[in-house]
């Protein structure tokens, strides 16, 4: 076996041995988990990069074992965080599947800047090459959702002397940041919005313990009000928790197939008692299946909030419809909720999805609103890569549209079609 093949085999074996050693140290608590993943991924990337360079020059019988490459690639595929290997010119040499999914514009043998537009990260690569010392850089994305990463940048010497190259290990901090923001927002919002109903409850309790102690009619009236205030606080807390959960997972697009048509019909039917109580006629139009990729509970909440808003604040008729459309990026599913109510003034429409924003505060609270329904809808649609459109005319009514990407059809000969054919 030639020197290059031996060197490559030794490199791959050393990578696996180093990975196992680091994993063992991690299990006994000696190292942080992210350091284990970074070291193991760096070793595998380096081995694969070296193998690619040699494969064109080493004769087939002398090339390193393909089995070792398969092992290295399998290990990289199971590293959940993005890992990228670049050369001294910041040209991408290797990347694991997580990195390619995060940066779809990134290409092998092209500059990293084509797919990762982050000056701080590129400056970090230059600094690591200049000093040889590892460093950490913050990186954030804004589209399609906000995500935060800590990028660990380190030099990686190659066994063939072609390096050093640079490894970038992106640690996703989005969930941790959102969890912290969720705690802060929950405390601030709950303390502000719960203050009024709590003060009302305390006032009625003091009255019942004092002047109205023996006044049966007043007691019944006060207890009804207290019950309504307690229900309002329950709805508020439920909505706050729902919104926080959705925001926490907003950067994770759902992958579960859902028939949005069946779900929408079910949620419209569930609004029948409220509609009957308020004398509102609700109709639904949309035959057939409307497949999307989504989270059923969140999509159900979207439909529920929009239909309930139309019933509570609209006029005497609410029309709900589902249709298919062709969008700029492919087929779409459009849900329309239309009422004939008093309408909304234009200056309010851009702010309707803000937390606790109400066009009429007194009317909203009187009708049981929490001011969070459209905020929940907006963040749910962000997660589902959908859009919310609101049109309204005073004294005419309001039309709200939800636009979702239709579930892509399986390609001919795909596993999904083969299974379907077999069934």
Residue 287 corresponds to which tokens in the numbers above?
């035959």
Among 135-144, 324-333, 366-375, which is the least confidently predicted range? 366-375
| Amino acid 157: pLDDT | 76
Residue 353 corresponds to which tokens in the numbers above?
């999805």
Strand 291-293 with 330-339, pairing: unpaired
pTM (two decimals):
0.56
Residue 149 corresponds to which tokens in the numbers above?
């990463």
Using the 8-state DSSP alphabet, how is residue 352 labeled?
Answer: T
Q: Please name every residue paired with 184 in a beta bridge, in sequence order, or none if there are none.
A: none
On the question of pLDDT at 415 being above 50, the answer is: no
Could you tell me which of 254, 292, 267 has the C-alpha nearest to residue 382?
254
**What does the DSSP assignment read for 258-317?**
EEHHHHHHHHHHHTHHHHHHHT-EEEEE--S--EEE--HHHHHHHHHHHHHHHHHHS-SE
Packing angle between helix 373-383 and helix 216-248, nearest 10 degrees?
A: 20
Among 19-28, 34-43, 117-126, 318-327, which is the least confidently predicted range? 19-28
Q: How far apart are the first and last CA of the chain?
A: 51
What tens digit of pLDDT does each residue of 332-391 get?
Answer: 999 999 999 999 999 999 999 988 887 776 666 666 667 888 999 999 999 999 999 999
**What does the DSSP assignment read for 50-119?**
HHHHHHTTS-GGGSPPHHHHHHHHHHHHT--S-EEEE-TT-BEEEE-HHHHHH-TT--TTSBGGGT---H
Buried-state track 224-253, b at ≥16 Cβ within 10 A, e below 16:
eebeebeebbeebbebbebbbebbbbbbeb
Q: Per the omega criterion (within 30 degrees of 0), is the bond before 164 cis?
A: yes
What tens digit of pLDDT does each residue of 395-404 get?
Answer: 899 999 999 9
Q: Output Rg (C-alpha) for the chain, integer angstroms.
A: 29
What domains appear along the chain, each with residue ranges and CATH number? 3-172 (3.30.450.20), 173-252 (1.10.287.130), 253-423 (3.30.565.10)
What tens digit of pLDDT does each residue of 155-214 get?
Answer: 887 666 666 889 899 988 887 887 777 676 766 666 667 777 888 888 888 888 888 888
């Amino acid at each position: 076996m030639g020197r290059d093949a031996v060197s490559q085999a030794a490199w791959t074996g050393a990578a696996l041995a180093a990975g196992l050693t680091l994993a063992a140290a991690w299990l006994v608590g000696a190292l942080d988990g992210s350091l284990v993943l970074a070291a193991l991924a760096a070793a595998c990337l380096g081995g694969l990069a070296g193998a690619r360079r040699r494969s064109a020059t080493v004769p087939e019988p002398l090339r390193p074992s393909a089995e070792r490459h398969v092992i290295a690639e399998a290990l990289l595929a199971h590293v959940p965080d993005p890992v990228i290997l670049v050369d001294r010119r910041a040209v991408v040499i290797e990347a694991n599947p997580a990195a390619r999914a995060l940066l779809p514009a990134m290409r092998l043998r092209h500059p990293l800047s084509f797919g990762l537009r982050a000056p701080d990260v590129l400056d970090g690569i230059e600094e690591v090459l200049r000093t040889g010392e590892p460093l950490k850089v913050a990186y954030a994305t804004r589209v399609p959702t906000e995500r935060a990463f800590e990028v660990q940048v380190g030099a990686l010497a190659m066994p063939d002397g072609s390096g050093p190259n640079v490894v970038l290990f992106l640690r996703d901090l989005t969930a941790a940041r959102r969890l912290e923001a969720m705690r802060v927002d929950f405390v601030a919002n709950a303390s502000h919005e719960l203050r009024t109903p709590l003060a009302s409850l305390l006032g009625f309790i003091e009255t019942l313990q004092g002047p109205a102690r023996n006044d049966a009619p007043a007691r019944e009236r006060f207890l009804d009000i207290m019950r309504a205030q307690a229900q309002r606080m329950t709805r508020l807390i439920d909505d706050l928790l729902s919104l926080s959960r959705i925001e926490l997972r907003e950067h994770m697009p759902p992958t579960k197939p859902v028939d949005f048509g069946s779900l929408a019909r079910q949620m419209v039917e569930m609004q029948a008692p409220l509609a009957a109580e308020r004398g509102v006629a609700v109709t639904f139009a949309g035959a057939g299946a409307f497949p999307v990729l989504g989270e059923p509970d969140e999509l159900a909440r979207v439909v529920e909030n929009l239909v309930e808003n139309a019933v509570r604040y609209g006029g005497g008729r609410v029309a709900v419809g589902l249709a298919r459309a062709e969008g700029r990026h492919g087929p779409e599913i459009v849900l329309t909720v239309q009422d004939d109510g008093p309408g909304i003034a234009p200056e309010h429409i851009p702010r309707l999805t803000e937390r606790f924003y109400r066009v009429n505060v007194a009317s909203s609270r009187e009708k049981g609103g929490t001011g969070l329904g459209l905020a929940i809808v907006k963040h749910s649609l962000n997660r589902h890569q959908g859009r919310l459109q609101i049109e309204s005319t005073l004294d005419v009514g309001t039309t709200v549209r939800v636009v979702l990407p239709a579930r892509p059809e399986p390609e001919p000969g795909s596993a999904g079609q083969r299974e379907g054919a077999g069934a």
